[in-house]
Amino acid sequence: MTAQMISAEFATCFDHQPDFVVRSPGRVNLIGDHTDYTGGWVLPIAIDRSVLVAARVVDPPYIDVHSAYLDQRIRILVDDVATLPDESWSQYIVGVVALLKECGIPLRGFELYLGGDLPPGAGLGSSASMEVGVAQALLKGVDKRLSPVALATLCRRAEQEYAKSPCGIMDQLSCTLARAEHALLIDCQSMSTEHIRLKLDGAALVVIDTGVRHSIARSEYPRRRRECAAALAAITDVYPSIASLRDIREDQIVSCAKHLDDTLRQRVTHVVTENARVLRAAEALRSSDLPTFGRLMNESHASLSDDFEVSCDELNDIVSIARSVDGVYGARMTGGGFGGCVIVLASSDSIPKLVKAVHESFDGRYASDATPFSVRAADAAGVLDDDRDV
């Protein structure tokens, strides 16, 4: 989708051309899931599928937002943010507006049109893309800036405090800090980051969307957070110097066995082994060791499925089908789980076989069919030049 296409949609909706368009990318996490909210490591890329925000500054002090995804429009009064009905999607935007005001940003009236080619609710970070895209548009309209970390932190607060979704920081940081052709290694405790060049000579990344959008994720996600907190509390009884799950060694889990029930032991085992895998995967990427990277992806999926229990039949089936194809290095679920997408690292010449195998062996067996598409590592969110393709 191009800036002109979204501008034309904006013009149909609001009877004017927009002043500018912001592109805000989705993300695929290559490895390191359910580690961000316990201060661990993650390794996402921003992808070449985005939420686009076309924006025009207006004089009256209200922000009209039209979502093309839902074909719905909301109005937020700049001076009275709290008056909006509690529609779930609008709370992400209300949160961004309220928190920008709290930072002392003098907001203007706006018309905003949200569209793009990032599928919503597919576990590709669409909420964070919407938050960051809207925040960047509102900031650009009043000629203000926030640092990428401050912007990501503000957007996470909007999601946690207004949309009541207790997410970590991965999606927002990926959206504000990613770089084309690089993966982003994030230390979610210090928020320090490293861009690692993706040298995938002869290989590519393919996302396979299961089409499953489980609402259970919303209740299971907070439960996993509580389980991680309970596991940490039990472990600090034995090792008082441990402040975070990232500081635990595998042998310490064994010596805490009496204090952890089976579920908590599984949860903490996933987090500890996943953190170690992210660091090994980053090393493999630095040296372009794709077989090792793929093996770590496979181990990560097993851990998310067996120990953290956030996978589902559809994700597990697609992972198995993908791994049965010659030339596939590795496959795993990506993001929060319970549906959403699988990410596959495969040699470029095996991709037609991969797509064929997925359609032949998966489609028709579940309520929705699979949608495979290739992704490239894209740049962080930003204002688009007039005629740049998205």
**Rule CB under 6 A: which residues touch ligand GLA?**
29, 33-34, 36-37, 167-168, 170-171, 335-336
* CA 282/CA 180 separation, integer angstroms: 17
Tokens 């993908």 belong to residue: 322
Beta carbons within 10 angstroms of residue 364's beta carbon = 8
Q: How far is the CB of 11 from ligand GLA (least distance, A)?
A: 33
DSSP H/E element including 327: none
Sheet order of strands, 109-116 included: 72-77, 62-67, 109-116, 44-58, 20-29, 382-383
Q: What is the DSSP letter of 385?
A: P
Query: Whose Cβ is closer to ligand GLA: residue 23's or residue 34's?
Result: 34
Q: Out of 33, 36, 64, 171, which one is annotated catalytic?
A: 171
Q: How far is the CB of 336 from ligand GLA (least distance, A)?
A: 3
Residue 377: CB minimum distance to ligand GLA, A:
18
Closest approach of ligand GLA to the CB of residue 127, in Å: 7
Q: Is the dihedral of CA 70, 75, 80, 83 positive or negative?
A: negative
Give the full edge-to-edge strand order of the sheet including 41-42.
Answer: 41-42, 182-187, 192-197
Cα gap 129→78, rounded to integer Å: 22
Query: Shortest Cβ distance from residue 236 to ligand GLA (Å)?
Result: 22
Cβ nearer to ligand GLA, comparing 168 with 211: 168
Q: Toward ligand GLA, which CB reaches closer, 123 or 141?
A: 123
171 is catalytic: yes
The alpha carbon of 305 is separated from its chain's Cα centroid by a whole number of angstroms, namely 19
User: Measuring CA to CA, how many Å separate 207 from each of 56, 174, 230, 290, 379?
Assistant: 34, 17, 34, 17, 18
Give one DSSP letter per residue of 131-200, joined into a string.
HHHHHHHHHHHTT----HHHHHHHHHHIIIIIS-----SHHHHHHHH--TTEEEEEETTTTEEEEEE---
Nearer to ligand GLA, 37 or 89 (CB): 37
- 74 and 216 Cβ atoms separated by less than 8 Å: no
The residue whose Cβ lies closest to ligand GLA is: 168
8 A C-beta contact, residue 273 and residue 32: no
Considering beta carbons, is residue 169 or 198 the nearer one to ligand GLA?
Answer: 169
Q: Looking at beta carbons only, is 188 or 325 nearer to ligand GLA?
A: 188
Active-site residues: which are they?
171
